[in-house]
Amino acid sequence: MLIVVTPYKPLDRQLMETILERQTLIDYLLIRTPISQDEQYQWIKALIEAGFSKGKVMIHTDVALAERLNIRNIHFREGDVHAEKTKRMNPSYHVTMSVHDEEHVRLAHKWQLDFGIYGHLFPSNSKKGKAPRTDAEITKALDIGFPLVAIGGINMNTIHQVPQAFIGFACIEAFFSKTKQDMHNLHEKWVIHKERSG
């Protein structure tokens, strides 16, 4: 599984074109942006009308926006009680949450969310100055048995170090700064890495 997170900036046409060009690699597109709900609505609507699968779009936090677009994939910040409420009231929704430690992995599990996005695993530009999770922390989080997606500094040099117990990985910067072929190669390397665990 590959989750692509949009850079935290206004959504534009160039970003849309990159996503459309590489959409076959994407399992979920997590929309994370500072723009208004109306602006997000128009951009996401245009993306879907251009051929991107609505089932792959994941809204960040804004349940009302998800309902406007009839999208059932919603992601929440770590510990946000709206994640539990949304899943309880809408069991068919795909509800996920960012998790950075064992405590919040257990919380997401207790709330019966679908998976957590866990990190950061490696040094990352989006987490400058912050130490990655240790091997011991990662092992404890995975041992809970709750599905986790890895995030943070994952590239061709680090992908083989991602524990195979993760159900997938997420990219922010790499997806948009690397070539389509680079991302295809990274995705293929993950698939091969996962198959070795089977």
Average pLDDT rounded to a whole number, residues 58-83: 97
Write the burial class of residue 121 (CB in 10 Å: 0-12 exposed, 13-18 middle, 19+ buried). Answer: buried
- The domain locations on the chain are 2-196
pLDDT for 130:
85
Where in the chain does DSSP place strands (E)? 2-5, 28-31, 57-60, 73-76, 94-99, 115-119, 148-151, 168-171
pLDDT per position as a tens digit, 125-184? 777 778 899 999 999 999 999 999 999 999 999 999 999 999 999 999 889 999 999 999
**pLDDT tops 70 at residue 197:** no
Q: What percent of the chain has pLDDT over 90?
A: 91
CATH match of 2-196 with 1.10.10.10:
no
Beta bridge partners of 68: none
